[in-house]
Structure 1
Amino acid sequence: MNKIRVGVIGCGSIAKYRHLPEYLGNQLVDIVAVCDIVEDRVNEIANDYDAQAYTRYEELLAQSDIDAVSVCTPNYLHAPISIAALNAGKHVLCEKPMAISTEEAEAMNEAAASAGKNLMIGHNQRFVPSHQKARLLIESGEIGKIYSFRSAFGHGGPEQWSADGEDSWFFKKEEAFIGAMGDLGVHKTDLLRFILGEEFKEVGAFVETSAKEKASVDDTAVCVLKTESGVIGTLAASWSYVSREDNSTIIYGENAILRLEDDPVNSLIIQYKNGEIVKYELGGIQSNDGDGQTTTHVIDEFITSILEKRTPAVSGAEGLKSLQVVLAALESSNTKQFTAI
């Protein structure tokens, strides 16, 4: 079987610690090109992976022997680079949030359809074992009617993770567009849609900047969400959690409560109505606090979907729906009213 020849555009931390190592670990992939506007950075990465270095993504996309690309750039470049790559005949794995507007995301999906190429968005929480188990339990009816939920994703901020530290694009509105809600909250909107198996229809949100004095984007957001069937719950996203990362979700059902990634050992705890408690050690969720060795399964799904000529699990259409919840939360915060999605 011929290997998929891959290029990575943007060589910051998400590429360095997630995309590139996971591509390297996939035996069906050859990393052939990398691109970054910082010449020293891209040359170092190119040397590490024996790949061709580019400082202009247009030149990378002009290479006809590249089958697929990862777009790991600041948020405002996700759509233009992804569309250019699709138009150049490449499959695209784009980091989240997929775009900074509904219009951009729709244009990405139209480009993918026109090109007949896969567009996948890098939402990794669907692939976490505890999250997949929870979805199955809810689908099977074992948990009964879902009443409510609460989900959080927070840590100390991207300066601890980004290649540029406190000078990171994450804090700049003109490059990031949105802060913690787009960085972390969009992961949770995607996860909750996946676990609950339905769409959100309304949101009320407070989106604020309280911890990062130099940031021109939000660092803390709290949302109240309502699904199409009437399930209500809360979502919190923050760069202001100064101790250990919180990436937990709790689902309150008719027959049981599901506690996901809420315990350091047991990734899923089921507390049944009758008092029974079942604990599962299913492997930890990937964390910025950890050593980065836990695979996200995003790369494997992207490559497999290309080879099998099928729609990836987190398609551009799915990415758009998760983004629209975030955009509605921003509107709600600005208008001080509940916003329809």
Structure 2
Amino acid sequence: MSKIRVGIIGCGSIAKHRHMPEYANNEHTEITAVCDIVEDRAQEFAEKYEAKAYTNYEELLQNADVDAVSVCTPNYLHAPVSIAALQAGKHVLCEKPMATSREDALAMIEAAKQSNKKLMIAHNQRFVPSHQKARQLIENGEAGKIYSFRTAFGHGGPEGWSADGTDSWFFKKEQAFIGAMGDLGVHKTDLLRYILGEEFVEVGAFVETSAKQNTDVDDTAVCVLKTESGIIGTLAASWSYVSKEDNSTIIYGENAILRLEDDPVHSLVVQYKNGEVVKYELGGIQTNESGGQTNTQVIDQFITAIIEDQEPLVTGEEGLKSLQVVLSALESNETKRIMSM
């Protein structure tokens, strides 16, 4: 069969380190177009992948040689670019958070329905082996009733990772809309929904800017969450963890405690009530540090959904549910009240 021709919109770090290499390594795809408002950046990747360079995404979307696009722009452009792409008849893989409001997310979902094209949100934590194994253990009752959890995602901030360093759009509210809570927190709201197999119904949050100078977005957030069956726990998202990245989740059940990405060697450690401990070496989690996992599986899953004409594993509806927890957390912080979802 002919290859799926892909356009990359936004050539910053996430495109450079994740999307482009993963498309290049997928035998069913070829990168035919790249777009960035910084012309040199677009040109550089166009040369590397033998693709056509654009500085205007609307022009890229008019290219009939593009079947699908990755939207790797600043957050505020996720919805408009994704909707335009869907309306132009392209399948869309959109980075997280999928949008900056519920209305925009719903408009994206509607555009996918109208165009009959795939819309997938790049929530890669679902595909981490330890997270998949934990979901399986919880689903089959291995841990018994789940009581509580704590999860964190934090590192030193996007300046060490973003293509523009300290000038990055991540620090500009009109482009990012939200800081660490949108960059990292939404990964964890999605992960917990996936692992626990339940929706969150209430959230209380403190969302602060305490570590970064000259920015109007949050860099440290802590939320207390409650699921429909009454599982309660905390979620921390931060750009103020100055030495090592923390991407751990601990789940406390009646028969066992599950420690995910908490031990440097064993990506999942299960500590049973009877004293037995089972350690799994399942391969690492993708990190922003060198030597992290290179394939997030997001691209492969997106391409499989297109080829086999099936629902993507992280649909727009799923992306919206994970976004809604973050939106409600922001509202909780502003109103100083517990929000229902």
**Structure 1 moving runs of 4+ over 6 Å:** none
Separation (CA, whole Å) in 2 of partners of 1:142 and 1:149: 16
What's the counterpart of residue 207 of structure 1?
Answer: 207
Q: Which amino acid counterpart does residue 243 of structure 2 have in structure 1?
A: S
1:80-114 deviation line (CA, Å, top 9, x unaligned): 00000000000000000000000000000000000
Q: Which amino acid counterpart does residue 84 of structure 1 have in structure 2?
A: A
What's the counterpart of residue 102 of structure 1?
Answer: 102
Separation (CA, whole Å) in 2 of partners of 1:213 and 1:112: 39
1:133 paired to 2:133: yes
What's the counterpart of residue 170 of structure 1?
Answer: 170
Matches for 1:146-295 after TM superposition, within 5 Å: 146-295=146-295
**Cα distance, 1:313 vs structure 2:** 0.5
What's the counterpart of residue 63 of structure 2?
Answer: 63
1:143 paired to 2:143: yes
**Cα distance, 1:164 vs structure 2:** 0.2
**Cα distance, 1:178 vs structure 2:** 0.2
What's the counterpart of residue 121 of structure 2?
Answer: 121
Separation (CA, whole Å) in 1 of partners of 2:56 and 2:293: 30
Q: Which amino acid counterpart does residue 137 of structure 1 have in structure 2?
A: L
Q: Which amino acid counterpart does residue 325 of structure 1 have in structure 2?
A: V
**Cα distance, 1:209 vs structure 2:** 0.1
1:232-271 deviation line (CA, Å, top 9, x unaligned): 0000000000011000000000100000000110000000
Q: Which amino acid counterpart does residue 312 of structure 1 have in structure 2?
A: P
**Cα distance, 1:204 vs structure 2:** 0.2
**Cα distance, 1:214 vs structure 2:** 1.1
Separation (CA, whole Å) in 1 of partners of 2:221 and 2:293: 29
Separation (CA, whole Å) in 1 of partners of 2:293 and 2:211: 29
Residues 208 and 218 in structure 2, CA contact (< 8 A), matched pair in contact too:
yes
Separation (CA, whole Å) in 2 of partners of 1:60 and 1:249: 40
Separation (CA, whole Å) in 2 of partners of 1:135 and 1:94: 24
Separation (CA, whole Å) in 1 of partners of 2:180 and 2:319: 17
Residues 18 and 292 in structure 1, CA contact (< 8 A), matched pair in contact too:
no
**Cα distance, 1:2 vs structure 2:** 1.3
| Structure 1: stretches of 5+ with no match in the other structure | none
The answer to which of 25-34 and 283-292 deviates more is 283-292
1:175-208 deviation line (CA, Å, top 9, x unaligned): 0000000000000000000000000000000000
Q: Which amino acid counterpart does residue 181 of structure 1 have in structure 2?
A: M
Separation (CA, whole Å) in 2 of partners of 1:14 and 1:326: 21
Separation (CA, whole Å) in 2 of partners of 1:48 and 1:37: 18
Residues 17 and 292 in structure 1, CA contact (< 8 A), matched pair in contact too:
no
Secondary structure at 1:217 match in 2: coil
**Cα distance, 1:291 vs structure 2:** 3.5
**Cα distance, 1:292 vs structure 2:** 5.0
| Structure 2: stretches of 5+ with no match in the other structure | none
**Cα distance, 1:290 vs structure 2:** 2.5
Secondary structure at 2:65 match in 1: coil
Q: Which amino acid counterpart does residue 3 of structure 2 have in structure 1?
A: K
Residues 198 and 228 in structure 2, CA contact (< 8 A), matched pair in contact too:
yes
What's the counterpart of residue 12 of structure 2?
Answer: 12
Aligned-pair identity (%): 77
Secondary structure at 1:163 match in 2: coil
Separation (CA, whole Å) in 2 of partners of 1:256 and 1:294: 31
Secondary structure at 1:33 match in 2: strand
Provide the alpha-carbon RMSD of the alignment: 0.6
Residues 3 and 30 in structure 2, CA contact (< 8 A), matched pair in contact too:
yes
Separation (CA, whole Å) in 2 of partners of 1:218 and 1:142: 37
What's the counterpart of residue 27 of structure 1?
Answer: 27
**Cα distance, 1:65 vs structure 2:** 2.2
Residues 285 and 293 in structure 2, CA contact (< 8 A), matched pair in contact too:
no
1:128-170 deviation line (CA, Å, top 9, x unaligned): 0000000000000111000000000000000000000000000
1:305 paired to 2:308: no
Change (3 A) 1:36 1:324: same
Separation (CA, whole Å) in 2 of partners of 1:153 and 1:32: 34
**Cα distance, 1:289 vs structure 2:** 1.6
Q: Which amino acid counterpart does residue 87 of structure 2 have in structure 1?
A: N
| Matched residue count | 341
1:19-57 deviation line (CA, Å, top 9, x unaligned): 000000000001000000000111011001100000000
Residues 78 and 98 in structure 2, CA contact (< 8 A), matched pair in contact too:
yes
Separation (CA, whole Å) in 1 of partners of 2:172 and 2:30: 34
TM-score by length of 1: 0.99
What's the counterpart of residue 52 of structure 1?
Answer: 52
